[in-house]
Amino acid sequence: MSLVGQDMVTVEEVIEAVQEALVAVERHGAPGWDALGREAFAHDVASEFVARRARGAIEHGRAPMDVGGEHDVIRRALAAYFHAGKFQTLLDLPGVTDIMVNGAEHIWIQYVNGHAERYPHRLFRDEDDLRAEVAHLARRSGGTERRFDDAKPLLVLRLSDGSRLAAIMNVSSTPQVSIRRNVLPDVTLGELEARGTVDRAIASLLAACMRSRMRVVVSGETGAGKTTLVRAMTNVLPATTRIVVIEDTHELNLGNDPRRRGAVLEWETREANIEGVGEITPARAGAPRVEVQPGVADRRGGSRWRRRTGDVAGDAARSSQRVDRASSLGVIGLEEARPVRGAGN
């Protein structure tokens, strides 16, 4: 029997099959698997889906994908669903801290020792491929679905490993992407002191501020270590402390700490949908603080609730400050500012 044409399975089709299978299984209760077990199950589903498509193609007189193509589409689908798609190759490089993609042809990598070099391999076919990869991550990464298109040419989101991705298009000649990795996902003030980031006096002052429930603004330019410092400050608090985190994009990831599981409420702002409705600003996200009873003792450990606001700037910063003034709780706010004396303006 001669076969006519070729049946091509797309990454989107495999992802849809995986998502449907996971939803069906988890609808009846979590199977008790960890992240690796969940991904292994997804791999089995993807492999079976591709094999079923191959059998169907042969039965209808079409040529199936070759084995190499099948393996590639499964790998790309799982990377896109569970990780960072084509960017995952760069994130897996040992010691990488910053990834700068200036169009499809130019990729630069910076390492923890400050060394930067050009990545020698090409990951994206062309500019359209790069845009499509970022748009796919926008739809599937982070706590809420985001867009990356002509109407929304600016994007900031958190990847599954906690890295922060920023992308821009249309206002530049090529799409440009920057990814910053968190090299210290869990750190204490004592560890920062040992690294020479802060001295003993500053570490003691910050710890005292946290214990006294003072309002603190952490300000600095991009890459200064604001998020790392706030993580360290938060680790001063007992694990039973209830914390509300309000961020434009999830980055602190305090809820990932198994010691604080169930004691952290993480809220993320939301963009308006394509009809222009549904936007949740930092001010609106901070409004329900009364409904979650901040300041009420945690019955499990007697600790107090706290509220923490994520990176804020401009109108968001002023809105956040109004919410903070209405709160009797300890508050930490992050703000992009250079020089520091510009913070709050």
> How confident is the model at residue 51, as a pLDDT?
93
> How confident is the model at residue 332, as a pLDDT?
61
> How confident is the model at residue 295, as a pLDDT?
38
Q: In what order do the strands lie in the sheet with 116-118?
A: 116-118, 107-111, 96-102, 176-180, 164-168, 154-158
Q: Contact 64/57 with Cβ under 8 angstroms?
A: yes
Alpha-carbon distances, residue 338 vs 219, 319, 335, 341, 344 (angstroms): 8, 20, 10, 8, 11
Name all domains of the chain by residue range, CATH numbers in brackets.
11-82 (no CATH), 90-180 (3.30.450.370), 189-342 (3.40.50.300)
- pTM for the whole thing? 0.63
> How confident is the model at residue 36, as a pLDDT?
82
> How confident is the model at residue 306, as a pLDDT?
44
Q: In what order do the strands lie in the sheet with 331-336?
A: 215-220, 331-336, 305-312, 242-247, 264-268
> How confident is the model at residue 183, as a pLDDT?
74
Q: What is the mean pLDDT of each run of 10 residues along the chain (345 residues)?
A: 67 86 76 79 93 89 87 87 85 91 94 91 90 85 74 86 88 91 82 91 93 84 82 88 79 79 78 67 53 38 41 49 49 56 53
> How confident is the model at residue 77, as a pLDDT?
87
> How confident is the model at residue 177, as a pLDDT?
96
Reduce the secondary structure of 29-43 to three states and give it as a string. CCCCCCHHHHHHHHH
Nearest to 103 by CA among 152, 174, 49: 174
173 three-class SS = coil
End-to-end alpha carbon distance in the chain: 75
> How confident is the model at residue 321, as a pLDDT?
52
